[in-house]
Amino acid sequence: MTGATKIIAICAQSIGASLGNGLQKQPILHNISLDIAAGKWTSIVGPNGAGKSTLLKCLAGVLPHSGSVALLGQPLQSLPHRERARQLAWLGQNETSADDLTVWDVAMLGRLPHQAWLAPPSAADHAAVEQALRATRAWDWRERALGQLSGGERQRVLLARALAVQAQVLLMDEPLANLDPPHQADWLDVVRALVAQGKTVVSVLHEITMALQADRLVVMRQGRVTHHGASSDASTHEALMDVFDRRIAVHTIDGQWVALPQLRREMPN
């Protein structure tokens, strides 16, 4: 056999999911099979309503679906909850958290899967929380209540909670929501550091230029994956422009891939 064997962090097979109630129930994901490479950053992109968040929830095991998901070689359903929570950290979209908790306590929630029932946090828990709050530049607010923070500040604390888990795999849905450009760049540094440590990151991103910094892109439209490939591949760029109906174009600027919106030539009257 030639070449290195690709290690798979998440293996999804024939995923289907429906949302809504009763007669309103609609099929959202259609027969998606996907291997997420370990030790890489994969971004899921596509137009609004394509099913990106729904797919991420299925990969995290937080939404009922047909088909199967394996995490690091083990079927997700067969993993005890604590074990799963140690191996897979989740940062959801528009998360509601207890606003009265301090920033420190919110980040400490990420350590719950490591703690014995009613046991106080260990030195390792304290160290992990401090490291996470410093990495997201939220350390200075550690005694403030979450409810006193702005949207972007809050998002950084929720990222710290996900980092504090010290999981092998991190799934993040719109992690850049509310972050200003310097803090988006900080997030990029955090992700690159995680990948350098061999961790796997999967993110749903609307900022296509940021998504193009990932190792791999999963491109979706109408509940299906239309393409999965290296973010530097011309075929990936084609797939990307295609799902956005050629309303974006991918260029290189200073050796970096960027996606720019294509403005309509005719102005509406």
Ligand X SMILES: Nc1ncnc2c1ncn2[C@@H]1O[C@H](COP(=O)(O)OP(=O)(O)OP(=O)(O)O)[C@@H](O)[C@H]1O
Subset of 1-20 contacting ligand X (CB under 6 A): 19-20
For residue 65, the minimal CB distance to ligand X (Å) is 12
Q: Exposed/middle/buried for 182, CB within 10 Å: 0-12, 13-18, 19+?
A: exposed
Task: Tell me the closest approach of the beta carbon of residue 176 to ligand X, in angstroms.
Answer: 13
- 222 sits near ligand X (criterion: CB under 6 A): no
Q: How far is the CB of 156 from ligand X (least distance, A)?
A: 20
C-alpha to C-alpha distance for 163 and 248, rounded to whole angstroms:
33
Compare residues 49 and 73 and give the one whose CB is closer to ligand X: 49
Binding to ligand X by residue 43, rule CB under 6 A?
no
Stretch that binds ligand X, among 44-52, 67-75, 116-124, 188-196 (CB under 6 A): 44-52
Which CB sits closer to ligand X, 108 or 214? 214
How many Å apart are CA 221 and CA 240, to the nearest integer? 10
Binding of ligand X at residue 49 (CB under 6 A)?
yes
| Total site size for ligand X, rule CB under 6 A | 12
- Provide the binding-site residues for ligand X, judged by CB under 6 A: 19-20, 26, 28, 46, 48-54
